[in-house]
Amino acid sequence: MKVVQAYRYALDLTPCQERAVLAHAGAARVAYNWALARVKAVMDQRAAERSYGVPEESLTPTVGWNLAALRKAWNQAKTDVAPWWQECSKEAFNTGLDALARGLKNWSDSRSGKRAGPRVGFPRFKSRRRATPSVRFTTGAIRVEPDRQHVVLPRLGRLKLHESARKLARRLEAGTARILSATVRRDGGRWHVAFCVEVERAERTPTRPQAVIGVDVGITHLAVLSTGEMEPNPRHLDEAAQRMRRLARQMSRRVGPDRRTGQRPSNRWERARRQVARAHARVTNLRRDNLHKLTTRLAREYGTIVVEDLNVAGMLRNRRLARRVADAGFGEIRRQVEYKVKWNGGRRIVADRWYPSSKTCSGCGTVKAKLALSARTYKCTTCGLVLDRDVNAARNLAAIAREATTAGSGPVAGRGADRKTRPGGQVAMKRQPGTAQAGKTGTVPPQGGTANRALTKAH
């Protein structure tokens, strides 16, 4: 099975190498801003001509937005725009032009309705101080050295890694991997190189291929499994909050930049800013490591994983929950599960956003019309089941696995849920043996509204 995945390593750059990387990132920014200014000038000119009543056939000719057209225009103008262009690799300029081409395409597709999701805005110019330095190499000498402690990139030469690249080197030596590109980027005050690699992965089978697991994510516990296991929520942001507040106060006391007066930041401010960036990066790395360990364990052990299609964006609009929801990483859990089950030969099922997993009794199937967020124990008035709220929801998720007939299927509603939670409209159902209480029948009224769903699931 061929997949495209990334191998990311921290770099230990010398001052000279860091200046060279910054120069390449600056070249990418210059090419991006030049091409954007050119495209914007033509668009503004055509808009002005239309306002004057100029017919369409007489308007200023349009310019191409794709990468080939932008690259051709850049090659014709680079001698005047950037006389120093020979000092940097051609891949640096291609990085900026490619980013603009993708941004313009996303904006155009969003306006025409070809792109789903929130509206994409028109690309904006990149600032030297606010933009994240990044450069991508797709051609030239890109390799890992035999000592597995260094990598070679075009024009940048031999760069030392902070950690061993043995995992990638073994695949390259065995011929089961091929490097497609390498991206050097500065995150959290550190430089990293990320290799985009086409990997030939061996076919795997989960440890328990017939086992079904329901995963209910939350804030009190990061994940509650249908087996009753509760994965604690480490809350890395809360642990680091005090130190981050102290560092932010220190930075606010320094002399920072001022765009209105052109004031340059002081060295002490820059030093404080780097400390704040490292503190945020540490929280990000701890969260990422914890989520990877959890999702890898689930994907390797269980043949079928049932997750929820939560309205995370809606939850983030709730000011009382947004910070903790963002720290938990609900969307990241689902994203990682999606590709890891494919790598390990399992399947992932997504329960419909409107499926009332928390309101449904896992014993008899009765659905409550209302369930307060403060009710942490589910008590069924029909069969008398008393169970932890999250475990009950996880069992209900596992029970709907039978409704998905193909691997990697889309969201399934689960027992007739249809976007309304009403006292009537009961739908008979049967339990799947091995999920909760086999052979029981129950009733399932459909699920309630979006706002209720967002609050109910953010537990």
Residue at 265: amino acid letter: P
What is the spatial distance between Cα 204 and Cα 337, in angstroms, rounded to a whole number?
Answer: 15
How confident is the model over 314-363, as pLDDT tens digits? 888 888 888 999 999 998 999 999 999 999 999 999 998 888 888 889 88
In this prediction, residue 269 has a pLDDT band, given cuts at 50, 70 and 90, of very high
What is the maximal distance between C-alpha atoms in the chain?
Answer: 80
Confidence at 402, pLDDT banded by 50, 70, 90: low
Q: What mean pLDDT value characterizes the chain?
A: 86
| Type and span of the H or E element at 76 | helix 67-81
Q: What is the pLDDT of residue 103?
A: 96
Residues in the chain: 459
Whether the predicted pLDDT of 293 surpasses 90: yes
- Specify the amino acid at residue 94: N
Dump strand ranges (E) for 48-176. Answer: 134-137, 143-144, 150-153, 157-161
The string of pLDDT tens digits covering residues 435-445 is 333 333 333 33
Q: How far apart are the C-alpha atoms of 28 and 389, rounded to whole Å?
A: 52
Instruction: Give per-residue pLDDT as tens, 115-160.
Output: 988 899 999 999 988 899 999 999 989 999 999 999 999 999 999 9
Question: What residues have CB less than 8 Å from 286, skipping those under 6 apart?
Answer: 234, 236
Q: Name the least confident of 84-88, 287-291, 388-392.
A: 388-392
In this predicted structure, what is the pLDDT of residue 382? 86
Alpha-carbon distance of 314 to 303, in angstroms, equals: 31
Average pLDDT, stretch 229-251?
93
Phi, psi of 302 (to 5 degrees): -105, 140
How does residue 282 score in pLDDT terms, banded at 50, 70 and 90?
very high
> Encoding tokens for residue 61?
């000719």
- Of all residues in the chain, the percent with pLDDT exceeding 90 is 62
For residue 136, the model assigns a pLDDT of: 96
Higher pLDDT, residue 63 or 182: 182
398 and 213 in contact (C-beta within 8 Å)?
yes
Reported confidence tier of residue 75, pLDDT bands at 50, 70, 90: very high
| Higher pLDDT, residue 290 or 376 | 290
Positions marked catalytic = 216, 308, 390
Could you read off the pLDDT of 41-73 as tens digits, one per residue? 999 999 999 999 889 888 889 889 899 999 999
Q: Which of 343-347, 412-416, 423-427 has the highest mean pLDDT?
A: 343-347
pLDDT at 456: 40
pLDDT on residue 355: 87
